[in-house]
Every structure is written in structure tokens, then in C-alpha cells.
Structure 1
Amino acid sequence: MDEMSFQQVYQTHNDAIYQYIFYLIQHRELAEDLTQETFYRAYKQFDTFREEADVKTWIKRIARNLVYDHFRRKQIVKFIPFVNTDDRVEKDTPSDILERGEAVANLYEALKELKLPYRETLVLRKIDGLSIKESADFLGCSEKQVTNNTARALKALQKIYEERGYTYVTEL
């Protein structure tokens, strides 16, 4: 693959990779830096990559490894927002905005209780919209494990919501 095709890959996937990293670390500047580092590493290895159909997964794996390296270096755990910004309705009423803001705040608080593998599975399945098979391939685990982690994560999230008196959104 040549430089021009890498530029096309960058333009096509930059926003999705940034959003994925941001969901994992919740820090804009760091997400920007890690996105840049992801594409830098991808560019350095791009001539060895052969399967164009799977380029997004390949780049997302690089991003995931960078995020995990960051967590290991800093020995910190950050939490993932579980809101797909693409689903926002443009003509919200003020009460809709307030309700969504409260729901998002509740979700942030509840997600702090989930294990990282559960949060990551929810991001891949519910935010990125990957299938069970795609999620399993990406995570390097079985489809059964993805299914179990998704179910357990949603059950744990529901329990946290109930304990805190939040309204649980069943569409997650």
C-alpha cells in the first residue's frame, strides 16, 4: 500500500479511533496524542499490512495497546463514557438536554464500578456497534466470552443503577 492510500485510511478512520481512545481514557488532549501516536505507528508498519478490509481493526488494536501501555505506565484506571455522540438529536428541548445530562452523569458514576474488560466489551458492542464475532476477534477471545462479558456488564450496570436509585435505560 502506498502513502496515498494511508492518507485515505487516516481520513476515513481518524475520528473513530479518536472516539475509541477517548471512551477509554476520558481526556481530550491525551486522546489526541494517543490518536496521533496510533497513526504514526500504523504509518511506520503500513507497508507490511496486506488486508485492506481489516485495516480499521488493525489500527484499533494499535490504539488499544497504546491505551493499555498508558494505563500500565501511570498505574491508573480511568472510566469510559457510554454515550454515542452520533445519536444526539439536533433539536432538543431544554428539558431533554437536562435529562440527558443527568443520565450521562449517572452513567459515568455507574461505570466507575465496572471492571475494565466489561467496559471495553460494552464500548465495542454498544458504541462501536461491532458484532460478537468482530469483538471477539478484536479482543482475542472467544465469542462466548464476549457474550458473557456483555451480559455480565449490563447486569452489573443495572444492579448499580438500582442501588443508586437511577433510572436504568434498557436500550444500552
Structure 2
Amino acid sequence: MSIPEIGGPAPTFSLPGMIVRDGVRTDDQYDLGSEIGRTTVLAFYPGDATAVCTAQLCSYQAELDGFGDLGAVVWGISPQALDSHESFARGSSLTFPLLSDTAGSVISAYGVRAPGIGLRRSVFVIGPDGIVRWRHVGLVGLRFPKAETIREQIELLVG
């Protein structure tokens, strides 16, 4: 499938995910449609506990309060299972939801599947209206948008 266009509707989905807060893992179902009214940041990453993914998600963790102050939520999405996500979250002190797309359906819906590496490191900012407002789709897996850049995009939506 093709990458959703800026100004177009974000593909909706529901995925299992987990979050670790205060040392406790909580599993849940995460449904993008239920986030209407809030800005949602989707951070697609190739693998748990890899060097670049850890750097990327830890940088977003550092800005999480700033995103939250703007009314935005951050979800990490990768093809690994929830137990892998739990280990990653605990090892990197991540406190935002990590969603498991083992079937690759959401990765495909967002057009970020990449032969050989699984998926392109990508970030989508979905407005409170369910519209794609900003995106960064990596061609190779080593670069990712800085948290500051994402925060600036969220600020534009909040006005």
C-alpha cells in the first residue's frame, strides 16, 4: 500500500500493545479511532533493543512530558511480540505504549514495509481529526526525526 498523504485520513487500526509504568506491565488493545480528539504520534521502528531504535525511542521518552503537555500521545509500533516489547521498555525505561504488529497489517497500511529490513523507520503525526498532519518516512534505517521536530509539528496543530 502507499504511504498516507499529508492532509489525508490516517488508516485506522487496532493492535495489541503494552505499557510498563511503575514496574507493572499492562496489556491493552490500542485503537487509533478511539484517539479522535487527541493528537497521536505513531513511531514505527524496526526492532526492540537495537542501537538506533533505542536512541530514537529514548529521545521521544525524554520529550514525553512535553508531548503530553500539548495533549499528544506517543505509540511505538514494531513487528515484535509483547514480551519483547516489555523487555525493551524495561531495559530502556520507556513509559509509553509499544504496539505489536506481528502480522504487519498496520505496517502495510502505512506503506512503510521495506524488503529485507521489515519496515522503514517512520513517524506520523495524526491530528485530533484523524488526518495525517506530518510524516517522516526513512529510506534507510539509521535516521529518525528528532523529538524537537515532532514537538514543533504538534505545536502547529495546537496553535
Which range, TM-score by smaller chain?
under 0.3
Task: Name the TM-score, length of structure 1 as normaliser.
Answer: 0.25
Q: Which of the pair has the greater relative contact order for Cα pairs under 8 Å at 6+ separation? A: 2
Q: Rg: which structure is higher?
A: 1
Q: Normalized per residue, which structure has more strand?
A: 2
Q: Normalized per residue, which structure has more helix?
A: 1
